[in-house]
Structure 1
C-alpha cells in the first residue's frame, strides 16, 4: 500500500492537478490510482464533467506511473496521448488507474482506465512519455 506522504509528494509536483481536486490513493511502479470529484465548475452543458478534466485525470495518473518507472535522475514529458470516451460523468467522481504497457530506455507507454463512481467505464487513455536524461551543467 502507498503512504499518504508518498502520494502527497508526487502530487506536489503537479499543481494543476491539485488545483482541479485530483487526489492519488496509490502509486507504485505497476499501478497508480487517482480520483477527480465531480464539480459543477469542471462541467460542460448539462452538468457533464468536461472531457478535458477527465483527460487531465488520466494524464496525471499516467505521468506519475511513467515517472515511477524512470531511471534515477531522468524526467519525463508526454509526447503522445490518445483518449476514447465511453460515457459521461454527471455526479460522484471519476477514478483512473494507470499501468505501464512498455518501459524502455527512450519511452514509457502507459494505459489508463477511467471509471465512474459506480465502476462503469468512462474512458481509456494510452500515452507515450519520453524518458529525458538529466540535464548537464
Structure 2
C-alpha cells in the first residue's frame, strides 16, 4: 500500500463539495493498494459545443485524481500542488460516465509523477494523462 493517510470514499467525495470537483460530479469510487479511481459524467457540463467530452474536462478529472492521490501519499501538514499536466486524447466520448484510474510512476518526498488513464463505459481508453506534483 502506498497511501500514508487513512481515508474513506465518503471523505474523498465530501472534499468535492463546493468546488469544481462537485460541480462536475466527479465521484471517487475505488481506493486500491496502489490506485485511485473516480468517474465523471459526459454531459452538458463536460462536453464541448460539438457534443464530445471536452479535453479540458478530461484534464480536470486527471488532475483531481493525481492531486488527491498525491495528498494521500503525504503526511502531517504536507500538501501537493500541480506542476505540470499533459493529456493525449485518444478517442471521442459522447455520453455516459468516464472512469479515471490513477497510479504512481514516482511518489517521492519532494515530487511525484502520476499516470491517469481515462476509459469510456466500454472499457476503451479515451485519454492518457500524466501529472507532476510538488510536495510542499
TM-score range, shorter chain: 0.7 to 0.9
The reply to whether residue 125 of structure 1 matches residue 129 of structure 2 is: yes
- TM-score using structure 2 length: 0.87
The reply to whether residue 51 of structure 1 matches residue 50 of structure 2 is: no
Structure 1 residues 78 and 29: CA distance shift in structure 2, 3 A: farther
Q: CA RMSD in A?
A: 1.8
The reply to whether residue 7 of structure 1 matches residue 12 of structure 2 is: yes
The reply to whether residue 35 of structure 1 matches residue 22 of structure 2 is: no
Paired residue for 2:80? 76
SS at match of 1:42: coil
- TM-score using structure 1 length: 0.86
**Structure 1: stretches of 5+ with no match in the other structure:** 133-137
Cα distance in 1 between the residues matched to 2:135 and 2:79: 6
Question: Which piece of structure 1 moves more, 107-116 or 68-77?
Answer: 68-77
Cα distance in 2 between the residues matched to 1:95 and 1:127: 17
Paired residue for 1:98? 102
**Structure 2: stretches of 5+ with no match in the other structure:** 1-6
